[in-house]
Amino acid sequence: MQKFEAQATKRFLPGSPRKMRLVIDLIRGKSVAEAMALLRFSPKHAAREAEKVLRSAYANLENKNENARFDMKNTIIKTAFVNGGPMLRRISPAPMGRAYRIRKRMNHVTIVVVSYQ
């Protein structure tokens, strides 16, 4: 039995890592077909970006091994994780001459898919 593996990483995605982790936790360990369905009908904004990364990881698997045929139902998401990226710091005016800090967060998403044949 052969093991085929590929990964995709999307860096500097706008949005907090905490919100993205909620979406990524839904799909970890599931088949690619099931994960695509979950992401397609999820109301969260982060689900669209996660779906793009998942599609890219599956495409990388197919391009890496051109002679092998892969089925989305038999391909599994081995690992999926979110790391925090850099923060853009902005200042918002506040009462009495003060200033509040606004932290615009970013994240890095990595998805690894594996298929056994």
Confidence band for 22, pLDDT divided at 50, 70 and 90: very high
- 26-40 pLDDT per residue, tens: 999 999 999 999 999
**Nearest alpha carbon to residue 51 among 20, 86, 73:** 20
- In the CATH hierarchy, which top-level class contains the domain 3-116? alpha beta
Taking only Cα atoms into account, the Rg of the chain, rounded to an integer number of angstroms, comes to 18
- Domain borders along the chain are 3-116
- 82-92 pLDDT per residue, tens: 999 999 999 99
Query: What pTM was computed for the model?
Result: 0.91
Task: Describe the crossing of helices 32-40 and 17-27 by its angle, rounded to 10 degrees.
Answer: 130
Confidence band for 107, pLDDT divided at 50, 70 and 90: very high
**Nearest alpha carbon to residue 46 among 18, 29, 23:** 23
pLDDT at 25 over 90: yes
| pLDDT confidence of residue 67 | 85
